[in-house]
Amino acid sequence: KAGVTQTPRYLIKTRGQQVTLSCSPISGHRSVSWYQQTPGQGLQFLFEYFSETQRNKGNFPGRFSGRQFSNSRSEMNVSTLELGDSALYLCASSAEGNEQFFGPGTRLTVL
Amino acid sequence: QKEVEQDPGPLSVPEGAIVSLNCTYSNSAFQYFMWYRQYSRKGPELLMYTYSSGNKEDGRFTAQVDKSSKYISLFIRDSQPSDSATYLCAMSGSWGKLQFGAGTQVVVTP
């Protein structure tokens, strides 16, 4: 079974720009969760989608948004980028939401 | 105070030794408990997944959950240099949201 894929793997943006990250879950999984990982804060939950509905949300500003498509692929968007948004963004795939399998991540650098 | 506490280490052990890792937590709603391994600049890899209290063994790995003490552990037997990585505990009480510890850096020296 193919694992979780994330594109792109690396991104460099400047402050004020917006960015869209993509995640393809394991075949058959309907839950996709997104996390931000930084050296200072560790892994922090952004949001989770299950069957195209946002089921859970973390404590991030509204600049962070996401969506899920009917084929379970998910995207997250960050608008008006700030320097502090530089991080590794990870998505995780799950059949029901708890046993989560992570992708390789997208490393975002904001200049 | 963080919901999940984990000593960041580093924890250095000689090859062949038992690695002992643990996390404590404060939220009694947590029902699902996981351990992940993360190599530098890679995504976390799921090692163990358990529900509620008890023990689970998988090869060289043993996970223990004690909900009464709000304490979980991971033991790695016969450690190898390839086990050198950051180990993250994670737990969940609501669908889709994992709460992670800070991660413990483990170094296994030949």
Chain segment B63-99, per-residue pLDDT in tens: 999 999 999 999 999 999 999 999 999 999 878 899 9
User: How many separate helices (H) and strands (E) can be counted in chain A?
Assistant: 0, 11
Percent of chain A at pLDDT exceeding 70: 99
Q: Tell me the count of A-B CB pairs closer than 8 A.
A: 66
Taking CA–CA distances from A42, the nearest residue in chain B reads: B102
What pLDDT is stored for residue A2 in this prediction? 81
Give me the mean pLDDT over the B8-20 stretch. Answer: 96
What pLDDT is stored for residue B53 in this prediction? 86
**Measured between CB atoms, does A45 come within 8 Å of chain B?**
yes
pLDDT tens readout for residues A31-47: 999 999 999 999 999 99
Considering only CB atoms, A48 lies closest to which of B41, B45, B95, namely B95
In whole angstroms, what is the distance from residue B13 CA to residue B85 CA? 12
Q: Which residue carries 């943006």 as its tokens?
A: A13
pLDDT band at A24 (very low <50, low <70, confident <90, very high): very high
In whole angstroms, what is the distance from residue B13 CA to residue B23 CA? 19
Contact list, B35 vs chain A (CB under 8 Å)? none
Contact A97 B43 (CB under 8 A): no
Strand partners of residue A65: A77
Substitution target in A98, A102, A107 with the highest count of B β-carbons within 10 Å is A98
Strand partners of residue A6: A23
What pLDDT is stored for residue A90 in this prediction? 98
User: Given a cut of 80, is residue B1 above it in pLDDT?
Assistant: no
In whole angstroms, what is the distance from residue B100 CA to residue B76 CA? 20
Q: Which residue carries 């008890």 as its tokens?
A: B54
Q: Which residue carries 């998505």 as its tokens?
A: A91
Considering only CB atoms, B96 lies closest to which of A4, A97, A104, namely A97
pLDDT tens readout for residues A51-63: 999 999 999 999 9
User: Given a cut of 90, is residue B13 above it in pLDDT?
Assistant: yes
Considering only CB atoms, B102 lies closest to which of A42, A94, A104, namely A42
Contact B97 A56 (CB under 8 A): yes
Give me the mean pLDDT over the B7-19 stretch. Answer: 95
User: Given a cut of 70, is residue A1 above it in pLDDT?
Assistant: no
What pLDDT is stored for residue B101 in this prediction? 97
